[in-house]
A and B are shown apart, each in its own frame.
Chain A
Amino acid sequence: MNEMPSIEQANEMTESKISANKVQVFYGDNQAIKDVDIEIQPRSVTSFIGPSGCGKSTFLRTINRMNDTIDICRVEGSIKIDNEDIYDPKVDPVQLRAKVGMVFQKPNPFPKSIYDNIAYGPRIHGLARNKAELDDIVSSSLQKAGLWEEVKNRLDEPGTGMSGGQQQRLCIARAIAVSPEVILMDEPCSALDPIATAKVEELIDELRENYTIVIVTHSMQQAARVSQRTAFFHLGILVEEGLTEDIFTNPKDKRTQDYITGRFG
């Protein structure tokens, strides 16, 4: 709209939590992501939307180097978190993934007790010096994930015995347990019913106070409900990024318009 960014906008820009510049992702000879530039604001929810195969999940996974696990995958360009290049050879991907947690489409609790699901990360990262500290981390993580009241009396039962929605919130609690700064969510509600979805969305809204959240979703209504900013991907390109309310009422690009109104052929 305005040529000159306002002071607030300018401040926002300098404060980006995640800053991606000219990011390219290749699977062998196939280019999945082309020239993506995006600034992601701290303590806010950003959603990535777009048709299947548009690259939104691929791009999400570059933010905690999950693509490293795929041999033929190659990432170019720069992604910085707090101004540090996460693809720098000095960066330990395991440490990175503690700082940048991830929640997946299907709830995937470990085949362990509820307690151990949460305690696993803090243990391997050495975040607790004794049992009492570990207990604290477990209870506070479950509380932050809104699950404490439901499970406090059965912490030794297997996590896999919970309902789907509870399992997903357990996975979110597990991600929180290692004190991440960023949480990536790849379609976290696609396997959940509307009530479990609403609980996860409520949780996302609460977590926004302390974490930077990036969520990939196929549900535009979900993107509209939970996020402050929305980015639309198509054919590996970031077509448009902006305030969620602008993207859903007055998108600038015809492709965004067609997608959000259900006109994509």
Chain B
Amino acid sequence: MSEHTVSAYDEELTAMAGKVAEMGGLAERAFADAVSALVSQDLDLAKSTIANDERLDALHQDVEMKLIEIIARRQPMGQDLREITAASRIANDLERVGDLAKNVAKRAIAIDSSLQSKKLAIGVEHMSELALGQLKRVLDAYTRRDAEAARRVQEADAEVDAIYTSLFRELLTYMMEDPRVITQCVHLLFCAKNIERIGDHATNIAENVYYMVTGERLPEDREKYDETTSAG
């Protein structure tokens, strides 16, 4: 896209997109660290992940202020308007991803027993790899303004959901077999739910990227169906 007649406007938009991308980097990192702290019972990593969430929150507030400022000063229209609303929503999603990652890190500390549950954590690790891949790809799609890539991310969310459902069943089975692991399994279950939510945020971001680029809504191509709600 060509440049604005007022070049300061371009600089503001670029700076804003840069900050959102930076938030994406922090959220991705927090998520990866939280899961690895959980799986390897690395308490230091868990603590630093929790502490780092402050940076993401601060950056989020910064982005929000900048967006309001741009709206007040420039009255964005067309593509610019879509970019700004998308940035605002994406920043919200990323802030939530950070919170969910922080919660996983907290649970890593709460579980606090050299897990006999290595076995139990494997499922969560696998699920988190998928969700992390989703988050990475959607952030790429945002920086490259790639609507098609965003659409694929939305499509692939079904996979994360499917794994969550099977993980839910698996953890339920463990708990029935051995009541001593119930506490651990419940924590893991919440972690899994958090990761599933992170996948949903990646999907939200994908929808916003798609709208930002094309001006059209990405049709929802599947029914939201959470088997665990009926299974529970």
Contact = CB atoms under 8 A, between A and B. Distances in A.
A250 B82 contact: yes
A249 B9 contact: no
Given A221-B75, A261-B76, A248 B81 contact: yes
Interface in A218-265: 220-221, 224, 248-251, 256-258, 260-265
B83 to A, nearest CB: 10
B75 A249 contact: no
Contacts of A256: 78
A220 B78 CA distance: 11
Contact of B80 (A221, A261, A264): A261
A265 B5 contact: yes
B5 A260 contact: no
A241 to B, nearest CB: 15
B77 A263 contact: no
Interface residues of B, number: 18
A130 B78 CA distance: 54
A256 B4 CA distance: 13
A249 B74 CA distance: 15
A138 to B, nearest CB: 39
B117 interface: no
B178 interface: no
B77 A220 contact: yes
Nearest to A246: B215
A260 B78 CA distance: 7
B4 to A, nearest CB: 5
B79 interface: yes
A260 B82 CA distance: 13
Interface residues of A, number: 16
Q: What is the predominant secondary structure among interface residues of chain B facing chain A? A: loop
B5 A264 contact: yes
Interface in B9-39: 9
Interface string B207-231: 0000000011000000000000000
A36 B105 CA distance: 64
Contact of A263 (B3, B75, B82, B215): B3
B2 A258 contact: yes
B215 A248 contact: no
A250 B86 CA distance: 14
A51 to B, nearest CB: 11
Interface in B69-99: 74-82
B7 to A, nearest CB: 11
Contact of B2 (A249, A251, A263): A263
B51 interface: no
Given A249-B215, A250-B215, A261 B79 contact: yes
A256 to B, nearest CB: 8
A261 B216 CA distance: 18
A265 B215 CA distance: 24
B176 interface: no
A262 B82 contact: no
B215 A261 contact: no
Contacts of A249: 77-78, 81-82, 215
A262 to B, nearest CB: 5
Nearest to A224: B77
B79 A262 contact: no
Nearest to A248: B77
Contacts of B74: 262
B8 to A, nearest CB: 11
A265 B2 CA distance: 9
A251 B214 CA distance: 10
B215 A262 contact: no
Nearest to B5: A262
29 contacts: A220-B77, A224-B77, A248-B77, A248-B78, A248-B81, A249-B77, A249-B82, A249-B215, A250-B78, A250-B82, A250-B215, A250-B216, A251-B78, A256-B78, A257-B79, A258-B2, A260-B77, A261-B4, A261-B76, A261-B77, A262-B5, A262-B6, A262-B74, A263-B2, A263-B3, A263-B4, A263-B5, A264-B5, A265-B2
Interface of B: 1-6, 9, 74-82, 215-216
Interface of A: 220-221, 224, 248-251, 256-258, 260-265
Given A250-B78, A251-B78, A263-B3, 8 more contacts: A248-B81, A249-B77, A249-B78, A249-B215, A250-B215, A262-B6, A263-B2, A265-B2
